[in-house]
Structure 1
Amino acid sequence: MNSLDTLVKQHVAPVMKAAGFAKKGRIFRRAAPNGDHAFLHIDADAVDPDKFVFEVSFWMVPLPSWEFAYRDVPNPTAPNASGALATCKVIPPDAAAHQPHEEGYFRSRWAFVEPDTRDLCGQELARVLTEEAIPRMVRLLDRRTLLDDIRTNPNGELVRLRDAVTSEILLRIDDDPVADVEALLYKAEADDEWALPFVTWARERLARRAAKET
């Protein structure tokens, strides 16, 4: 077994399973009752011949975001991170970081030496997941919480993958008053001449919802 896979099996899988996440390879998935998903990805980086280097990130996939992204695909697969609305790196503490004194993108890389520091790195990752990342992912499965986060921290560690108005529409389209969402659609049309496919899709979804509610 690859050393990174050993770390994942021994240290990551138990805490993710306890939090209700299903495992497939190095990807962990948890679904909310409304079809929204949270994913945790562990991805190897072949950047250091002397260490196992990898990155950990989570991806928030509200069902409307997934369904818009795959609107033209017949019988799409179950949601995955390609339909994410937001993503966030899980940052290692110094003891498990590949470049602990680096700033920016490269500071997100985890690393260990096999076998000397694999368990230390795995224990630190399990701790960060348990104390920080998992509780945050679970909170962000609530659309209102996710909306509040991307509204109040637009340039924070949680990276929004769509523009602000589109993100807000996707997070409000199934639950908020139809008139309020319609007002946002008019704003999307006014702000972006390329928004027509999205606006058309959103209005059709709103119409179906309104028909069910009458």
Structure 2
Amino acid sequence: MATYGDGEVDAFLTFLVPEWAESAVPSGAMAEETAEARRMWREKPPVGYGSPAAPPAIAWGVNARGDLLCWVTGERDSGRWPVAVWSRGSLAWHVHGCGMLEYLVRLFRGEFDDMRADDGVRRFVHDSPTKNFIFGGLVMTILSDFLREYATPVMSAAGFKKKGAEYRFTNEAGDSAFLTFSTTRIDPEACVLFATCSFVPEPYWAWLNRRQAEDKFPPTDASGVLAAYSVLPPDAFAHAPASSGLARARWAFSDRNRSDVGTGLAGQLKTEELPRIERLLMRPGLLAEITSSRSPSVRRWGEVQSELVLMADHYTTPQQEMLLAAPDLDDTFRRDYREWVAKRATSGE
């Protein structure tokens, strides 16, 4: 990382590094993906590993399928950290007994069937040409000005509150939606960014914090995402319109087309994304999306687990028990769920 910085290998694998932040709170894609990795570790740790309050995972890469590539930071010597991959397909962790460099070599040789890259020569596009462009947080300033002019008027009119590059709305049921913008530094001629809609239903936030007293719950934030999707740009505003996967989700603008992209984003937020967000903030609507066969899926947890927790206040005990009989659930989850539902019912009386 010190030599090459961040960047990506074609449209298959994106490398993450810490971002410049406006405050002491970590920000950017690396911080966001690490929070997601730790959440999944707590919910479903790798075989042979426990589920500590602070999981030993740091995300360093994301592939085109949305799989998370992480270091397992249990050793004091970072050179001995193995690689763990959270697979969106199997919804499981795979820990590889090798470091990052060896893992990448083996990956591009095609030795990992579950993470096979497309055939062809891999080309790393690194970030060094953009050092002057991003100096002093210039990219963050450019993004902030862009959002203030084009996204904030639309989102504020819909009741969203802005903090940094994130917009949040919480409905009367306590369910929250987040629209988060983040940059990736891969093009010296443009500001390249992602826009992600995330959903944190109140029951899922309560489930994640179930071992704490209710009055001790931390404020809801996007780390508790149950479902999410990328806001895809139209071809004219996409950084790589011919790409697929994660690369296709990148918006891009420069001084030349800033106004066109901003106006297009504002229009898309108003006519497409806000109606979809409104629908997914209703639990039946979110459930329909989570359990659909639509690809890519919005869910970030197992389908049955998501349904059980999301609809905990709506399903009868027989309905819950029928879902709990699913063979892919483990006994620990069944026990914890029953205890949590009983406690939740008592506290709601």
TM-score by length of 2: 0.56
Would the aligned equivalents of 2:210 and 2:340 in 1 still touch at CA under 8 Å? no
Runs of 4+ in structure 1 deviating by more than 4 angstroms, as ranges, are 209-214
1:84 and 2:219 equivalent? no
State, as a whole percentage, how many aligned pairs show the same letter. 37
Q: 2:187 maps to which residue?
A: 48
Aligned with residue 334 of structure 2, among 176, 199, 207: 199
1:151 and 2:288 equivalent? no
1:177 and 2:312 equivalent? no
Distance in 2, matches of 1:51 and 1:25, equals 21
Aligned with residue 343 of structure 2, among 190, 208, 214: 208
| Secondary structure class of the residue paired with 1:125 | helix
Would the aligned equivalents of 1:89 and 1:157 in 2 still touch at CA under 8 Å? no
Query: Which structure's residues are more often helix, by fraction?
Result: 1
**Per-residue deviation, 1:176:** 1.8
Q: 2:325 maps to which residue?
A: 186
Aligned with residue 116 of structure 1, among 256, 273, 276: 256
The one-letter code of the counterpart of 1:31 is: T
Distance in 2, matches of 1:158 and 1:123, equals 28
Q: 1:12 maps to which residue?
A: 151
Distance in 1, matches of 2:159 and 2:209, equals 26
Distance in 1, matches of 2:297 and 2:268, equals 16
Structure 1 residues 72 and 206: CA distance shift in structure 2, 3 A: closer
- Superposition pairs of residues 135-146 of structure 1, within 5 angstroms: 135-146=275-286
| Secondary structure class of the residue paired with 2:291 | helix
Q: Deviations over 1:108-142 (max 9, x none)?
A: 100011x2221211111111111111110111011
Q: 1:36 maps to which residue?
A: 175
1:21 and 2:160 equivalent? yes
Distance in 2, matches of 1:28 and 1:64, equals 21
Structure 1 alignment gaps of length 5 or more = none
Would the aligned equivalents of 1:144 and 1:171 in 2 still touch at CA under 8 Å? no
Distance in 1, matches of 2:304 and 2:271, equals 32
Would the aligned equivalents of 1:4 and 1:52 in 2 still touch at CA under 8 Å? yes
**Per-residue deviation, 1:212:** 6.7
Structure 1 residues 71 and 105: CA distance shift in structure 2, 3 A: same
TM-score by length of 1: 0.89
Structure 1 residues 105 and 173: CA distance shift in structure 2, 3 A: same
Would the aligned equivalents of 2:227 and 2:298 in 1 still touch at CA under 8 Å? yes
Structure 2 alignment gaps of length 5 or more = 1-137
Q: 1:99 maps to which residue?
A: 240
Structure 1 residues 180 and 213: CA distance shift in structure 2, 3 A: farther
Q: 2:65 maps to which residue?
A: none
Q: Which has the higher contact order (CA 8 A, sep 6+)?
A: 1
Q: Deviations over 1:180-203 (max 9, x none)?
A: 11322233xx4233x51x333321
| Secondary structure class of the residue paired with 2:159 | coil
Would the aligned equivalents of 1:68 and 1:201 in 2 still touch at CA under 8 Å? no
Would the aligned equivalents of 2:207 and 2:340 in 1 still touch at CA under 8 Å? no
Distance in 1, matches of 2:345 and 2:317, equals 8
Would the aligned equivalents of 1:7 and 1:119 in 2 still touch at CA under 8 Å? no
Q: 1:168 maps to which residue?
A: 307
Structure 1 residues 25 and 45: CA distance shift in structure 2, 3 A: same
**Per-residue deviation, 1:73:** 5.3
